[in-house]
Amino acid sequence: MPKSKRNKVISLTKTKKMVRENKDKLIDEIRQCAEKYSRVFLLSLENERSSYLQEVRKRLRPGRLICAKNTVMQLALGTSPETACQDNIDKLAEKISGHCGILFTEQTPADIQSFFAEYRPLDYARSGATATETVVLPRGMDALAHLPHSIEAHLRQLGLPTRLLDAKIHLLGEHTVCTAGKELSSDAAQILKLLEIKQARFTVTVEAHWTRGGTFQDCSMLED
């Protein structure tokens, strides 16, 4: 009788080794990209979604966009003249912080800036995000008319004062879902999604640019 795989024991030492190997592989990949491409851009990301990052990667091919732990990207590029994988690229590594990625490409700063100025898709905001506008639902049936009556109980769980009458959802009183400038609660985020109201815009900002040969520029000086 074959042994069950359910109780298979995985050595922690083996797991740590795999993590280390993956980290080393990523570091090598970043350094190879820095050698292959003549330009490197540091990008800050806001409201990132995996689907949007995939689209960015697709549109900017054959360039490479790498989003990894900041410490790993810094280690790969080098944070000092002695450890830098390319001349002066440590200055770009020093600016890595927050949600960001590094783009390796042959395209000019003007092309990259133009692309991200145009590619700014909207998505549903998540819990904890800041509301960009105030949403107030009026009393009655109109605001919730597009929703199936079967969801009425769930709406009450989300805090909406609703009632089901004649198979239609009635809002018993005016209700403020969110207020501009304030943090969205989990319930508010779910209600906005049900109402098909998108308040999260995916944006990418060029923070710095490095060119082979050692030229480094911050975002305020990006000129080709």
Instruction: Name residue 52's amino acid.
Output: Y
Phi and psi at residue 163, to the nearest 5°: -150, 145
pLDDT of residue 10: 54
Q: Which of 138, 122, 135 is nearest to 184 (CA)?
A: 135
Find out whether 169 and 162 touch, Cβ atoms under 8 Å. Answer: yes
Q: At what angle do helices 70-77 and 12-36 cross, to 10 degrees?
A: 50
Which pLDDT tens digit goes with each residue over 95-143?
999 999 999 999 999 999 999 999 999 999 999 999 999 999 999 999 9
Taking the C-alpha atoms of residue 171 and residue 136, their distance in angstroms, rounded to an integer, is 12
Find out whether 121 and 68 touch, Cβ atoms under 8 Å. Answer: no
Check pLDDT > 50 for residue 73: yes
CA 223 and chain centroid, separation: 26
Tokens standing for 154? Answer: 């769930």
Which pLDDT tens digit goes with each residue over 32-48?
999 999 999 999 999 99
> Distance between terminal CA atoms of the chain?
69
Residue whose token pair is 């810094």 = 74
How does DSSP classify residue 181? T
What's the pTM? 0.83
Check pLDDT > 60 for residue 201: yes
